[in-house]
C-alpha cells in the first residue's frame, strides 16, 4: 500500500479552541451556549440524531469535531419547506447530506413496494419522517436555503447510487444521485478520510470544483480530465474474434498504461437504460474496480455531463479505527428527544462493533460495495475500553453485552497472507467458490478477545448476535467451541440462504455441506457445555436464479428439519448489488457478459414472489391455498394431504387463506426455531414449539 496520510495528522482548524461539545448542536440556542456564531459544517440526516458510533452522522460529526471544526446536525428536517434547513444558519464550509444508516427507499418500503408503518430510526418508531430518495430532496432544499454553499453527499444511499443504477421502486434505471441532487461532491464508503480532506482543503480556501483528486469521491465533469488515459470498458472483456482480442491484448501490454492515471469508460446512462446486457456489463466492471490496491477511476456519461468516480479510499488502520470509535460520544440519543423510544438505538446501545468490511461478496448484500472487502480491525485494547465505558456510563446496563461483532461475527483479523497479493487481487470473494488458499483463517485473536472480554469485572455475559460465516468457522473448531460454550444466548443466527445449487451459485454462498458440518459441531459442543441451544438459519425467497422447484425443495428441507419461519425475507433488489443486476438484466455479471451468454431466471411479479415467500412459510394456513394451486401446477399434488410426508394439508381452517402479509421494518431475515422432539407418552400440542 502506498503512503497514506494518517486520519488525525492534519493540523487542527482554528475553531478547535471551542473545545468538545457535549452533543453536537441541533438548534441555534445550543450553538449560542457553545459560543458559536456559525457552524463550519452542517450534517443533514434522515435519522434521528444518536450520538453513538453505530450511527453514521455521529461518527462523521465527531471525526470532524476532532479536526477542530464546528459541526451542527439537522436531523429529520421537514422537507416540505425550506425553513428547517435554515435552522442553524449557513455553514461556513459545506453541507453534508445523508439519508441516514439506510437507503431511504429500503427504509420506507417493503419488498412488495408497500409503505412500512414504522421507522426504527425515528423517535417513537413513527413512520413517514423522511422523503423518498431523501438524499436528493435534502440536497435540493439545502441548495434552496443557501445558494452557493457546497453540498457533499454521503452515506449508504449516496454510495450505492453513485452510478446509473436500477431502482426497484420506480422500475427504472436512474441517473447517478450526484446529478439528481445537483451536489458538488459525492463521498462513497464509510467516508472519514474523504470528509476530513474535503473540510481541510475547503477551509484552506480551495474551491470545491478543485477537489478532484480525493479517493472515494465522485463528481461531475464535462470531459475526461487532462493527463488521464481513457480505456473503453468493452475492451476489457472484448466480444470480438480471438484475433482482434489478441491485438487488443498486445496493444495494451505494449502501451503499459499507468493504472493510477487510467480511467475506464463505462457504458452511458442512456446505453444501460436501453440495453440490459450493457447494464450487466457495467455492473461487472464496477465490481471489478473496488480493490483500493488496484482499482482504476471510472467515468460514465449522463446526457451532456460525465460522472467521474475516483478509486476507493484506503481503509483505516487499527490505530485510526480505534481513534474513531473512542471519540467522545455521549452514547445516547440527543437530549431533545427526552424519553422517546428509539428502536434502532435500543437494538445497539449495548453492542460493540469490532471491525468493518466483509470479503464474503454475497451478491445480494451491499456491505462490500459500501465498506469494502478488506477487513478493518479495532485493537483488542480499544474494544475492551469500550466495554468498560458501556459498563460504567451507559444507563440501564445490566452486565450483558448484546453483541460483540460487526458486518460478520467472525472475520476479525482475517486477511490475505500478504499485502502484495491482497493489493493485486481482483476476485469478488475470498470464500467463494471455495476459501482462498491465501486467506488466513486463524480465529485465535477472536478467541483471545472473547476470553478477555468476559473476564472483565461487572460483565455477566458477552453475546455474539452478528451473522456468522460458518464456512470459515468450521476451519477453527476451538473458536466454535468457545462461541457455543460461552457466547450464544440460546439461539445462533447463520445464513445458508438456500439449499439448492442454482440459487446458491447466484448468491455466491457455500453449499449445505458446510452448514451440516457446522451444525454437527454446534450441537456437539452445546451438549458438552450442558446447554440446550438452537441454530436459526436464514433463507431468502425469490432470489435471482431461484425457480419454483428450488423453493419447493427448500420448503421440504425446512419441514424435514422441523423449522417454522416466523419472519421471512423476499429478495429486495437494492441499488448497485450484483444480484440486482441479475434481477434487472436477466444476465449473470459474475461471468463475462456476452450477447448469447448465460441468462438468469428471476421470479418477478407480485404473485410469484409471494409464492416463493409462501414456500418459506409453508406452515401458515393463510398460504395454503396459494401453495396447493402451485403444487398442482408443478405436478406435485402428492404433497397435499394430512400425513407427515405432505407439505400442506388438504383442509383449510375457517377464517384463513385470504390474508396478505405486511412487511416489517426489521423483517429483513427470518427467524425459525426447530421443534423439540416429542416425549414418549405425551400428546402433541398444536402450534410452534421451541
Q: What is the mean pLDDT of residues 433-449?
A: 97
The residue ranking higher by pLDDT, 64 or 687, is: 64
Q: Of 150-159, 231-240, 372-381, 522-531, which range is least confident?
A: 231-240
Q: Of 535-544, 594-603, 666-675, which range is least confident?
A: 666-675
> Grid coordinates in use for 515?
452448514
| pLDDT bracket for residue 661 (50, 70, 90) | very low
Residue 367 main-chain phi, psi, to 5 deg: -60, -45
Q: State yes or no: cis peptide before 433, omega within 30 of 0.
A: yes
pLDDT of 99-138, one tens digit each?
999 999 999 999 999 999 999 999 999 999 999 999 999 9
Per the listing, cell 467522545 goes with 328
Instruction: Kindly tell me if the per-residue pLDDT of 603 is higher than 70.
Output: yes
**How high is the mean pLDDT of the chain?**
92
Q: Are 201 and 211 in contact (CB under 8 A)?
A: yes
| pLDDT bracket for residue 595 (50, 70, 90) | confident
DSSP-based three-state secondary structure for 537: strand
Category of 519 on φ-ψ map: left (φ > 0), alpha (ψ -120 to 50) or beta: alpha
Q: Are 589 and 581 in contact (CB under 8 A)?
A: yes
Query: What's the pLDDT at 369?
Result: 86
Q: Rounded distance, CA 118 to CA 105, Å?
A: 13
Q: Rounded distance, CA 498 to CA 394, Å?
A: 39
Q: Rounded distance, CA 184 to CA 149, Å?
A: 9
pTM listed for this prediction: 0.91
Neighbours of 685 (CB within 10 A): 8
Q: Rounded distance, CA 133 to CA 153, Å?
A: 12
CA-based radius of gyration for the chain:
26
Q: Rounded distance, CA 514 to CA 520, Å?
A: 10
Total residue length of the chain: 690
| Helical (H) or strand (E) element with 583 | helix 578-585
Q: Rounded distance, CA 73 to CA 27, Å?
A: 8
The answer to whether domain 11-222+304-333 and domain 334-674 are alike in fold is no
Sign of CA dihedral 2, 6, 7, 11: negative
Question: How far from chain centre, in Å, is Cα 382?
Answer: 24
Query: What's the pLDDT at 596?
Result: 87
Which 3-state string (H, E, C) describes 133-147? CHHHHHHHHHHHHCC
The contacts of residue 245 (CB under 8 Å, 6+ apart) are: 238
| pLDDT bracket for residue 235 (50, 70, 90) | confident
Q: What is the mean pLDDT of residues 47-61?
A: 97
Q: Are 68 and 18 in contact (CB under 8 A)?
A: no
Pinpoint the alpha helices (H) of 440-488: 444-454, 470-473, 477-486
Residue 168 main-chain phi, psi, to 5 deg: -60, -35
Q: Rounded distance, CA 93 to CA 199, Å?
A: 7
> Across-strand partners of 298?
264, 309
Q: What is the mean pLDDT of residues 190-206?
A: 98
Instruction: Kindly tell me if the per-residue pLDDT of 455 is higher than 90.
Output: yes
Strands 491-497 and 563-565: unpaired
Q: Of 38-42, 503-507, 596-600, which range is least confident?
A: 596-600
| Helical (H) or strand (E) element with 232 | strand 229-232
C-alpha pair distances (Å), 339 with each of 34, 286, 332, 334, 640: 24, 45, 11, 10, 52
Pinpoint the alpha helices (H) of 343-469: 343-348, 367-371, 380-393, 419-424, 444-454
Instruction: Kindly tell me if the per-residue pLDDT of 58 is higher than 90.
Output: yes
Q: What is 334-674's CATH number, 2.60.40.10, 3.20.20.480, 3.40.50.300, 3.80.30.20? A: 3.80.30.20
Q: Rounded distance, CA 157 to CA 370, Å?
A: 10
Query: What's the pLDDT at 256?
Result: 60
Q: What is the mean pLDDT of residues 605-618?
A: 96
* CA-closest candidate to residue 287, choices 469, 160, 148: 160
Query: How is the beta sheet containing 41-45 ordered, strand by strand?
Result: 71-75, 41-45, 94-98, 151-153, 185-187, 217-221, 305-309, 297-302, 262-265, 229-232
Query: What's the pLDDT at 103?
Result: 97
> Grid coordinates in use for 572?
429486495
Q: Are 130 and 108 in contact (CB under 8 A)?
A: yes
Query: What's the pLDDT at 662?
Result: 37
In angstroms, how far is the first alpha carbon of the chain from the final one? 50
Q: Domain limits of the chain?
A: 11-222+304-333, 229-298, 334-674
What is the CATH T-level fold of the domain 11-222+304-333, as seen in this structure?
A: Rossmann fold (3.40.50)
Query: What's the pLDDT at 658?
Result: 64
Q: Rounded distance, CA 160 to CA 576, Å?
A: 5
pLDDT of 341-360, one tens digit each?
999 999 999 999 999 999 99
Q: Are 547 and 611 in contact (CB under 8 A)?
A: no
DSSP-based three-state secondary structure for 506: helix
| pLDDT bracket for residue 368 (50, 70, 90) | confident
Neighbours of 539 (CB within 10 A): 25
Q: Rounded distance, CA 48 to CA 59, Å?
A: 14
Neighbours of 341 (CB within 10 A): 12
Query: What's the pLDDT at 157?
Result: 98
Instruction: Kindly tell me if the per-residue pLDDT of 243 is higher than 70.
Output: no
Query: What's the pLDDT at 255?
Result: 52
Q: Are 386 and 379 in contact (CB under 8 A)?
A: no
Q: Of 61-65, 242-246, 370-374, 428-432, which range is least confident?
A: 242-246
Q: Rounded distance, CA 563 to CA 267, Å?
A: 46
DSSP-based three-state secondary structure for 525: helix
Q: Rounded distance, CA 571 to CA 165, Å?
A: 17
Strand ranges in 39-148 using DSSP code E only, listed in sequence order: 41-45, 71-75, 94-98
DSSP summary character for residue 351: E
Q: Are 216 and 310 in contact (CB under 8 A)?
A: yes
Note every long-range contact of 107-114, with CB atoms under 8 Å and residues 24 or more positions apart, other chains counting.
107/46, 107/665, 108/132, 109/169, 110/572, 110/662, 110/663, 110/664, 111/569, 111/570, 111/571, 111/572, 111/609, 111/663, 112/570, 112/606, 112/609, 112/610, 112/663, 113/168, 113/169, 114/662, 114/663
| pLDDT bracket for residue 296 (50, 70, 90) | very high
Q: Rounded distance, CA 530 to CA 670, Å?
A: 27
Instruction: Kindly tell me if the per-residue pLDDT of 1 is higher than 60.
Output: no
> Grid coordinates in use for 429?
470473494
Amino acid at each position: 500500500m502506498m503512503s497514506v496520510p494518517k486520519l488525525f495528522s492534519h493540523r487542527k482548524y482554528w475553531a478547535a479552541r471551542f473545545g468538545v461539545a457535549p452533543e453536537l448542536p441541533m438548534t441555534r440556542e445550543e450553538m449560542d451556549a457553545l459560543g458559536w456564531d456559525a457552524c463550519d459544517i452542517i450534517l443533514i440526516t434522515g435519522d434521528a440524531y444518536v450520538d453513538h458510533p453505530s450511527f453514521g452522522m455521529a461518527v462523521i460529526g465527531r471525526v470532524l469535531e476532532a479536526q477542530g471544526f464546528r459541526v451542527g446536525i439537522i436531523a429529520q428536517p421537514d422537507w416540505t419547506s425550506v425553513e428547517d434547513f435554515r435552522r442553524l444558519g449557513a455553514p461556513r464550509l459545506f453541507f453534508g447530506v445523508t439519508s441516514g444508516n439506510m437507503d431511504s427507499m429500503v427504509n420506507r418500503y417493503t419488498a412488495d413496494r408497500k409503505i412500512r408503518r414504522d421507522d426504527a430510526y425515528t423517535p417513537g418508531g413513527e413512520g413517514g419522517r423522511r422523503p423518498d430518495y431523501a438524499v436528493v430532496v435534502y440536497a435540493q432544499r439545502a441548495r434552496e436555503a443557501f445558494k452557493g454553499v457546497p453540498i457533499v453527499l454521503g452515506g449508504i444511499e449516496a454510495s450505492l447510487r453513485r452510478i446509473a443504477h436500477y431502482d426497484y421502486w420506480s422500475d427504472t434505471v436512474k441517473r447517478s444521485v450526484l446529478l439528481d441532487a445537483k451536489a458538488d461532491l459525492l463521498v462513497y464508503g464509510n467516508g472519514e478520510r474523504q470528509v476530513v480532506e474535503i473540510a481541510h482543503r475547503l477551509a484552506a480556501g480551495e474551491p470545491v470544483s478543485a477537489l478532484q483528486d480525493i479517493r472515494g469521491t465522485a463528481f461531475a465533469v464535462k470531459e475526461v480530465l487532462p493527463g488521464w488515459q481513457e480505456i473503453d470498458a468493452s475492451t476489457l472483456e472484448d466480444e470480438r474474434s480471438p484475433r482482434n482480442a489478441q491485438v487488443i491484448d498486445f496493444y495494451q501490454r505494449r502501451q503499459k498504461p499507468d493504472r493510477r492515471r487510467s480511467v475506464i469508460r463505462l457504458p452511458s446512462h442512456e446505453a444501460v437504460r436501453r440495453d440490459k446486457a450493457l447494464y450487466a456489463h457495467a455492473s461487472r466492471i464496477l465490481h471489478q474496480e473496488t480493490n483500493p490496491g488496484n482499482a482504476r477511476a471510472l467515468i460514465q456519461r449522463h446526457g451532456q455531463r460525465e460522472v467521474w468516480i475516483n478509486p476507493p479510499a484506503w481503509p483505516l488502520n487499527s490505530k485510526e479505527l480505534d481513534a474513531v470509535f473512542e471519540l467522545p460520544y455521549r452514547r445516547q440519543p440527543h437530549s431533545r428527544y427526552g424519553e422517546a423510544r428509539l428502536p434502532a438505538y435500543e437494538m445497539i446501545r449495548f453492542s460493540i462493533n469490532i471491525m468493518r468490511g466483509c470479503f464474503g461478496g454475497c451478491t445480494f448484500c451491499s456491505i462490500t460495495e459500501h465498506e469494502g472487502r478488506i477487513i478493518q480491525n479495532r485493537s483488542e485494547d480499544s474494544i475492551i475500553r469500550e466495554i468498560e465505558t458501556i459498563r460504567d456510563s451507559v444507563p440501564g446496563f445490566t452486565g450483558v453485552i448484546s453483541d460483540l461483532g460487526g458486518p460478520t461475527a467472525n472475520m476479525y483479523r482475517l486477511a490475505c497472507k500478504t499485502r502484495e497479493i491482497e493489493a493485486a487481487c481482483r476476485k469478488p470473494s475470498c470464500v467463494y467458490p471455495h476459501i482462498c488458499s491465501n486467506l488466513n483463517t486463524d480465529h485465535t485473536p477472536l478467541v483471545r478477545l472473547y476470553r478477555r472480554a468476559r473476564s472483565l469485572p461487572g460483565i455477566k455475559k458477552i453475546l455474539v448476535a452478528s451473522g456468522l460465516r460458518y464456512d470459515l468457522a468450521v476451519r477453527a473448531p476451538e473458536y466454535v467451541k468457545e462461541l457455543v460454550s460461552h457466547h450464544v444466548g440460546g439461539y445462533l443466527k447463520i445464513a445458508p440462504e438456500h439449499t439448492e445449487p442454482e440459487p446458491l451459485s447466484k448468491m455466491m454462498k457455500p453449499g449445505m455441506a458446510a452448514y451440516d458440518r457446522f451444525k454437527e459441531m454446534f450441537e456437539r459442543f452445546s451438549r458438552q457445555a450442558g446447554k440446550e441451544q438452537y441454530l436459526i438459519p436464514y433463507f431468502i425467497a425469490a432470489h435471482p436464479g431461484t425457480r419454483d422447484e428450488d423453493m419447493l425443495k427448500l420448503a421440504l428441507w425446512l419441514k424435514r428439519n422441523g423449522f417454522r419461519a416466523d419472519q421471512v425475507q423476499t429478495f429486495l433488489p437494492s441499488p448497485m448489488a450484483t444480484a440486482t443486476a441479475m434481477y434487472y438484466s436477466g444476465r449473470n455479471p459474475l461471468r463475462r457478459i456476452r450477447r448469447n451468454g448465460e441468462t438468469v431466471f428471476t421470479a418477478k411479479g407480485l404473485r410469484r414472489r409471494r409464492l416463493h415467500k409462501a414456500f418459506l412459510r409453508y406452515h401458515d394456513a393463510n398460504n395454503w391455498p396459494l401453495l396447493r394451486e402451485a403444487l398442482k401446477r408443478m405436478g406435485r399434488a402428492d404433497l397435499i394431504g394430512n400425513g407427515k410426508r405432505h407439505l400442506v394439508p388438504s383442509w383449510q381452517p375457517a377464517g384463513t387463506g385470504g390474508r396478505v402479509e405486511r412487511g416489517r421494518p426489521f423483517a429483513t431475515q427470518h427467524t425459525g426455531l426447530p421443534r423439540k422432539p416429542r416425549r414418549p407418552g405425551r400428546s402433541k400440542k398444536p402450534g410452534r414449539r421451541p
